[in-house]
Structure 1
Amino acid sequence: MPFRYYTRRRSKAMERLVNIQNLMKVYGHHKSEQVAVLKDVSFSFAQGEIIGLIGASGAGKSTIGKILAGLEQPTNGHIDFDGTNLTALPSKERRKFAKHIAMIFQDPYESLSPRMTIEELVEEPLIIQRIEKNKEKRRDMVKEALRVVSLDPEKYMSRYPHELSGGERQRIGVARAFVCKPKLIIADEPTSMLDTSLRLELIQLLKSMNEQYGISYVFVTHDIALTKGFCDRIIVLHEGEIVDIGPTDDVIHAPTHPFTKSLIDALLLLEGAQP
């Protein structure tokens, strides 16, 4: 499928940010025990584009996110990020790209240390990436990140995660991802532990940040309904392979693979409507 540029948010043409070619991931050291989680996966997307990775549990969607974020290494394949071949970099050089590629984790309860204040949690990526040496300037950056996710810094900075609701904790996770001003955020099932109203609020927040700051997202989810009106394109994974890819509305209204059709049928059943 040819690469498609989107200019919906900005007037100038958007430049390619990520190009993934022939990505493979195999677990297991012995040949008899090996399991191929990703099989020859290839796709590209532009700066500012929102990509939805859809699939059942074990389809490989979270593995792609972790490889992009540098949390796992591919068995084979090529990842070009903003002109740099990430897969060819030694681990020390690869870690430097963490300031450009951030991650929002699925579980807001497990991803935040209970011993750290909200200020310390949001500040931590700045310290790890050595982005700002001055403590007061880092504090200002933390305040800005909290305001972006609609949390009052004066109210939240001195508090601890156990004092917050699930929705507030997930917003702290978004603030941690945003504070280094990355070009790409991997959102790995970020709404799965939230109720319906909080899911919609988080999606609206992420979309607002995309429109205001031009951040790209790889949005990992098993719920295709969440991609409508949010993702520019969706990629459907089944057993480690891409089985459908295209603009969100096109895939939802004209799926080509039986697995995608089953997802759409389930969505229509829930909505009580026809495409």
Structure 2
Amino acid sequence: MSLLLNVDSLRKVYGHAKHEETAILKDVSFSLQRGEIVGLIGASGAGKSTVGRILASLEQQNGGTIWFDGSDLTELTGKRRRAFAKDIQMIFQDPYDSLSGRMCIQDLVEEPLIIQKYEKDSAKRRQLVNEALSLVSLDPKKYGARFPHELSGGERQRVGVARALVCRPKLIICDEPTSMLDTSLRLELIGLLKKLNEQFGIAYLFITHDIALTKGFCHRLLVLYEGHIVDQGFTETVIEYPEHPFTIKLIEALRSLENTKGESQ
């Protein structure tokens, strides 16, 4: 593996100078290797999604640097920054809200190709869309002309994965993509993401509040608490030997849940 992403002292403040400001991200630093799956864990409101949105250029940071694939993104603006957009894609949390109900599945998956000017030829774009849908186990002939309201939640989230995948990015930000799915669909989606990682070497920043989902999936874990990364390391190490009190509480809750499930079986 080689370095793909390095985030140093990332800071994000909400508010206005004339009003009270709130620092969501105070000093966030971490790195991510090519093809690596890194889990970002934290409580609701900790700023996990804010990290993802900043990396995906959907929000601007107030400080810090972001090196991606050899370039300092914080120094790039306009077209030069947008040129990296195709390499950093995002899967959103809500499959019901993130897909426009006015567009069919074919058009939804094709849209990133048009926005990023990835492919000018419409026939080639259609081929790329069909390939992306097939990769997420959605038959293009069956699903291409359908609309989001005709799909289940799990199918919609697979469309979200296809949209993120179609430009063949180097990094996909997964913003709690399983939180609105039931247990079986969560496991299916995790399995799909793992398969795509192994097949194409795509790196993931997997944002979640459910540490159980990271076991056997994420190579490393980052624990975000009060604007800082307070624990990080290989997934098994963080789970077996948590250091920060917040991480310890997360692990205790996980083990309590596992013990309860074991007793009920």
- TM-score w.r.t. structure 2 length? 0.97
What displacement does 1:92 show?
2.8
Output the CA distance in 1 between the equivalents of 2:136 and 2:149. Answer: 18
Q: Which runs of 5+ in 2 are unaligned?
A: none
The answer for the alignment partner of 1:132 in structure 2 is: 119
Output the CA distance in 1 between the equivalents of 2:149 and 2:17. Answer: 43
Pick the aligned partner of 1:157 from 144, 149, 156: 144
What displacement does 1:31 show?
6.2
C-alpha offsets along residues 142-201 of structure 1, whole Å, 9 cap, x if unaligned? 000001101111110011100000000000000000000000000000000000000000
Pick the aligned partner of 1:53 from 40, 43, 46: 40
How does 1:185-196 map onto structure 2 within 5 Å? 185-196=172-183
Output the CA distance in 2 between the equivalents of 1:26 and 1:229. Answer: 34
SS of 2:238's partner is helix
Instruction: Please identify runs of 4+ aligned residues in structure 1 that moved more than 4 A.
Output: none
Matched, 1:17 2:24: no
Pick the aligned partner of 1:77 from 64, 75, 78: 64
Query: Cα distance 1:55–1:31, how it changes in 2: closer, same or farther (>3 A)?
Result: farther
C-alpha offsets along residues 70-124 of structure 1, whole Å, 9 cap, x if unaligned? 0011100000000010011113321121100000000000011111110000000
The answer for the alignment partner of 2:107 in structure 1 is: 120
Output the CA distance in 2 between the equivalents of 1:188 and 1:29. Answer: 27
Query: Cα distance 1:31–1:252, how it changes in 2: closer, same or farther (>3 A)?
Result: farther
Alignment-mate amino acid for residue 129 of structure 1: Q
The answer for the alignment partner of 1:181 in structure 2 is: 168
SS of 1:87's partner is helix
The farther-off stretch of 265-274 and 114-123 is 265-274
- Are the counterparts in 2 of residues 52 and 227 from structure 1 also a CA contact under 8 Å? yes
Output the CA distance in 1 between the equivalents of 2:202 and 2:18. Answer: 40
Root mean square deviation, CA, Å? 1.1
SS of 2:61's partner is coil
Alignment-mate amino acid for residue 241 of structure 2: A
- Are the counterparts in 2 of residues 60 and 240 from structure 1 also a CA contact under 8 Å? yes
Alignment-mate amino acid for residue 179 of structure 1: V
Output the CA distance in 2 between the equivalents of 1:197 and 1:31. Answer: 48
Query: Cα distance 1:164–1:255, how it changes in 2: closer, same or farther (>3 A)?
Result: same
Output the CA distance in 2 between the equivalents of 1:264 and 1:243. Answer: 14
The answer for the alignment partner of 1:65 in structure 2 is: 52
C-alpha offsets along residues 32-88 of structure 1, whole Å, 9 cap, x if unaligned? 511010111111110000010000011111111011000011100000000010011
Output the CA distance in 2 between the equivalents of 1:175 and 1:127. Answer: 15
- Are the counterparts in 2 of residues 58 and 239 from structure 1 also a CA contact under 8 Å? no
Matched, 1:206 2:193: yes
C-alpha offsets along residues 205-260 of structure 1, whole Å, 9 cap, x if unaligned? 00000000000000000000000000000000111111100000000000001100
Alignment-mate amino acid for residue 162 of structure 1: H
Pick the aligned partner of 1:226 from 213, 219, 228: 213
Alignment-mate amino acid for residue 49 of structure 2: S
